[in-house]
Structure 1
Amino acid sequence: MAKKIITISREFGSGGRFIGEEVAKKLGMAYYDKNVITEIAEKSGLSPEYIQENAELSPKKGLFAYALAGRDITGKSVEDIVYEAQRKVILELVEKEPCVIIGRNADFILKDRDDVLNVFIHGNMPEKMQRISCLYNVSGQEAVKMMADTDKRRLANYNFYTEQKWGKASNYTLCLNSSELGYDRCEAIIMECVK
């Protein structure tokens, strides 16, 4: 079956967001990344700023923050409300049109569909460090800290809500090393796999 939905999970600095955006352009598909924040905010009743900081990442306090989070009378934490709103938005988007979705546990949310290609983009430390240093105008040491913090928070969020291991090859259709393959080749491989 042809794949009409592409989800891209990625390590920070691997270029996964850029690769996903280029694939969407070349295939004429809708592209969803930070542009879904407003919809998630509306569904959750929380501010777009809060969603941007927390919808894909765990609380800065780490995985135990989920267990210790305050709950409302239904037993849901703010993080649970955000995740549920995010899930609803993703399920609505894929019903509308073929699309590329970056992050947000979309691979897991859409796991029961046959028309999804789940991709994980990773890279080698030197290339990721250089990319982050250039993009954010920070030192190599600061880039390494940013990568470690962001990936740790993505891992905690993913592992908590999916009960799977973030970055584990068996959770994805395709795992690509952007440092070894380059962006153009990653894009070509993804587009070939969609057919």
Structure 2
Amino acid sequence: MEKRIITISREFGSGGRTIGKLVAEHLNIKCYDAELIQKLAVQSGFDESYIKEAGEYAPGGFLASAFTDRSFGPTNEDRLWKMQYQIIRDLAEKEPCVIVGRCADYILRDRADCLRGFIHADMKFRADRIVRVYGERENSPEARLKEKDKRRAAYYRFYTDMKWGDAANYHIALDSGVIGIEKCAEIIESLV
């Protein structure tokens, strides 16, 4: 296998997590998604729900200057970022795998054996999918999509100083709404 590691970044509702799991299953390698949160919880002592939320909020938000003084040292989010960074680097050294989200594309950007992918789809496809697959029942699933993507983009920008979803950061970007979930997985598999 030329590319041992596959990172999947994704817009909320695009099926990136499902694609990552399919790729891992077909290649008979591990997929790390929620498992990363579990590893961070064990290592940090923080609750998994806190880690999940902290992974989508960039420190330094709206009222940060009033409530966050970095002169006293790193924030909890900064500590989690450093642990997450090391866990992802260690996993990449240990075994071939698929890593979903958590800025893994950036963390492993210097590795020649890493294929970095981004999964996206139009708003209609994603809105339908989060209602159908995730059971979202809000009046406006589009608002939920925009909120989640905005948070992911801010977190990514804060820790990587790069633009989330920018094609230049990835080897391949796939529109799961046009191509289909299974076909996206097949395409990624064909590249490793």
Q: 1:113 pairs with 108, 111, 114, which one?
A: 111
Q: 1:86 pairs with 84, 98, 105, which one?
A: 84
Greater mean deviation of Cα atoms: 184-193 or 102-111: 184-193
Change (3 A) 1:74 1:168: same
Change (3 A) 1:36 1:139: closer
Greater mean deviation of Cα atoms: 6-15 or 182-191: 182-191
- Aligned position for 1:15: 15
Does residue 142 in structure 1 map to residue 140 in structure 2?
yes
In the TM superposition, residue 65 of structure 1 has moved relative to its aligned partner by 5.6
In the TM superposition, residue 141 of structure 1 has moved relative to its aligned partner by 3.9
Task: Give ranges in structure 2 of 5+ residues lacking alignment.
Answer: none
**Code of the aligned partner of 1:75:** G
Task: Give ranges in structure 1 of 5+ residues lacking alignment.
Answer: none
Classify the secondary structure of the residue corresponding to 1:14. Answer: coil
Distance 2:69 2:75 in 1: 4
Residues paired across the two proteins, number = 192
Per-residue CA deviations over 1:41-83 (Å, capped at 9, x if unaligned) read 233332222112222x015x97446666635666211111111
Classify the secondary structure of the residue corresponding to 2:14. Answer: coil
| TM-score of the aligned structures, taking structure 1 as reference length | 0.90
In the TM superposition, residue 28 of structure 1 has moved relative to its aligned partner by 0.5
1:184-195 equivalences in 2 (<5 Å): 184-194=182-192
**Code of the aligned partner of 1:161:** Y
In the TM superposition, residue 145 of structure 1 has moved relative to its aligned partner by 1.7
- Aligned position for 2:162: 164
Distance 2:108 2:186 in 1: 23
**Code of the aligned partner of 2:129:** R
- Aligned position for 1:31: 31
Aligned residues of 1:37 and 1:51 also touching (Cα < 8 A): yes
Distance 1:89 1:152 in 2: 25
Distance 1:42 1:140 in 2: 33
Per-residue CA deviations over 1:2-53 (Å, capped at 9, x if unaligned) read 1000000000010010011000000011110011212112333322221122
Per-residue CA deviations over 1:127-152 (Å, capped at 9, x if unaligned) read 11110111233447431121111111
Distance 2:42 2:166 in 1: 32
Percent identity between the two aligned chains: 43
Distance 2:3 2:65 in 1: 36
Change (3 A) 1:104 1:152: same
Aligned residues of 2:60 and 2:68 also touching (Cα < 8 A): no
**Code of the aligned partner of 1:35:** E
Change (3 A) 1:135 1:37: same
CA-based RMSD of the aligned residues comes to 2.1
Distance 1:138 1:3 in 2: 35
